[in-house]
Amino acid sequence: MSELQEENSRQIAFGWAATDSSGILHPFHFTRRANGHNDITIKILYCGICHSDLHLIKNDFGIFSYPIVPGHEIVGVVTQVGSKVQKFKVRDKAGVGGSTIFDDGGDKNSGMHVGVVGLGGLGHLAVKFAKALGMKVTVISTSPGKKNEAIQHLEADSFIVSYDMKQMQAAMESLTQSLHNIL
């Protein structure tokens, strides 16, 4: 694809971004790749911001680069649908996040490595779904007391305390090379 074709295939997007560690969000215009055949575009109407997002925008771990558009567990309206999408149409309501991140793609998920940030209600579901789909799971939590629950009861493969800089640094290299998604 030529540079001109690639530039013409990009979409203009808007979000609220942190541009430094002050934690203040500013209006932010950016471009993203155009929809593929299996993609949808959602006009986000609502999104959740949790404590892990606060760590991101404040760069608490010293590993993030700016700008950062925080937020997850989004709900909105479909504005564009790829040619192979069958489950959605323009103007449908759609949500992304938590247990909705997994599809019925079967074996394509097996062997993937996912990180689950937070072991609350949706975190529990994410671990259970990921393990059921054959994924390797690392739980990242602020609560060291949840390690036994994550490893013994939910069968996560590993557990990291997010504010323990030694654990985060030790995990950094292996996670950046093997982690497919952070939920």
Same domain, 108 and 183: yes
Give the Cβ contact number of residue 100 at 10 Å: 14
Last residue within a domain, chosen from 50, 65, 96: 96
Same domain, 89 and 105: no
Same domain, 74 and 119: no
Model confidence over 113-160: pLDDT tens digits?
A: 888 888 877 788 888 888 888 888 999 988 899 999 999 999 999 999
Residue 154's domain spans which residues? 101-183
User: Is the model's pTM score more than 0.85?
Assistant: no
Q: Would you place residue 26 in the very low, low, confident or very high pLDDT band (cuts 50, 70, 90)?
A: very high
Same domain, 5 and 79: yes
CATH number of the domain bearing residue 82: 3.90.180.10
Report how many domains make up the chain.
Answer: 2
Same domain, 39 and 21: yes
Same domain, 157 and 84: no
Residue 162 burial class via C-beta count within 10 angstroms: exposed 0-12, middle 13-18, buried 19 and up: buried
